[in-house]
Amino acid sequence: MDITSIALIIFLAFLALLLSYLLIRERRSASRQENENSLMAMQQYVESLRVDVRTSLQQLTENVNQQLGFINQQMQAQTSTVGNRLDTAARVIGEVQKNLGELGQAAKEIKDVGQNVAKLEELLRAPKLRGGIGEFLLEDLLKQVIPSKHFQMQYHFRNGQTVDAVIVTSDRLVPIDSKFPLENFRKMITAADEQEKKNFKKIFITDVKKHIDAISSKYILPDEGTFPFALMYIPAENIYYEVIIRDEGVSDGTGLYTYAINKKVIPVSPNSLYAYLQVIALGLRGMYIEQSAKEVLNNLSHLQGDLGKVRDVFDVLGSHLDNALKKYDDVDKKLSNVESRLGNIAEKSLTDGQSLALPENR
């Protein structure tokens, strides 16, 4: 390419640029007025928009403040409710802790009771100690129901035997002996299998029969003032249940209760003995009433005799008063006669004196 061509191209390019500049300048001049008008419209729109935004912002602020107030009230109410619930929870927790403490104390006491029960079981293994406990329970029950003068512990018979207690009625004695057949009973209820249980059951029945025989032969002594029966006190209800309530029978075909009744021995537990004692106490009260009635009749008889004596004295006094009244009437009559005679004599004397004095006055 030669220089002329290059120069021509450059000139044409410059000319195109000049024309473009002139066109752009003319367009800018024409659009400047439009821009100013648009700017003014834009400013007016912005001002209107600013006013609308301010108004909306105020309304939004008021709404937000209202919502915040409502939320604050709700928060306060919720805070109060939560506080109350926390107080309630704290109180409940405190009570639970207290109950847990009491439960712990109760558990400790239960543990102590269990240890004491274990110790008691160890103590009850000794037959003499079991007998002492039975006698103690029997005496305590008698003291609750029967007046002290109507029972006696450790009563000695003339034949040398000593019964645990007797109830003293008006003319006879009710012997009561405490029996505590615990050893083989415990083995029976803790037996590992049924056969072992049956074996210990037979031994237990044999023990009870021996106690019944001993009471029947030793303490039923009508010649020494006892009733023709005796009470066998069993201080444990579960043992009494085995002896009497279940009453499955003994080797001779009779039940333990029937065997005891045939021997004139009445088995009693703490509950049944209490009922027996209540009946006996009522009988003793009836005896007191009968004795009191006899005393009242005797006193009435004596009073009637004394009243008869008083009546005799009163009649004698009345007779004396009648005689005195008659004497009084007689004396009164005599006094009246004397007064009358004295009056007549005085009147006559006065009349005679006047008649003798009249002549002298003339």
Sequence spans of domains, the chain? 80-123, 127-292
Quick one: pLDDT at residue 113? Answer: 47
Quick one: pLDDT at residue 264? Answer: 92
Per-residue confidence band for 3, with pLDDT thresholds at 50, 70 and 90: low
Q: Tokens 């004692």 map to which residue?
A: 277
Q: Which residue has the higher pLDDT, 309 or 166?
A: 166
Question: Among 163, 173, 138, 131, which residue's Cα sits nearest to residue 274?
Answer: 138
Angle at 358 between CA 356 and CA 359, to 5 degrees: 90
Per-residue confidence band for 257, with pLDDT thresholds at 50, 70 and 90: confident
Cα separation, 181 vs 44, whole angstroms: 118
Contact 225, 178 (CB under 8 A): no
Mutual orientation of helices 127-145 and 270-361 as an angle, nearest 10°? 30
59-68, 101-110, 251-260: segment of lowest average pLDDT: 101-110
Q: Which residue has the higher pLDDT, 98 or 49?
A: 98
Residue 347 Cα distances to 43, 350, 352, angstroms:
174, 5, 9
Instruction: Give mean pLDDT, residues 105-115.
Output: 56
135-139, 219-223, 261-265, 323-327: segment of lowest average pLDDT: 323-327
Whether pTM exceeds 0.85 = no
Cα separation, 357 vs 45, whole angstroms: 181
Cα separation, 188 vs 171, whole angstroms: 43
220: pLDDT strictly greater than 90:
yes
Per-residue confidence band for 147, with pLDDT thresholds at 50, 70 and 90: confident
111: pLDDT strictly greater than 60:
no
The separation between CA 343 and the C-alpha centre of its own chain, rounded to angstroms, equals 100
- Within 10 angstroms of residue 226's Cβ, the number of other Cβ atoms is 19
Contact 267, 260 (CB under 8 A): yes
Q: Which residue has the higher pLDDT, 298 or 204?
A: 204
1: pLDDT strictly greater than 80:
no
- Within 10 angstroms of residue 197's Cβ, the number of other Cβ atoms is 14
Cα separation, 295 vs 205, whole angstroms: 51
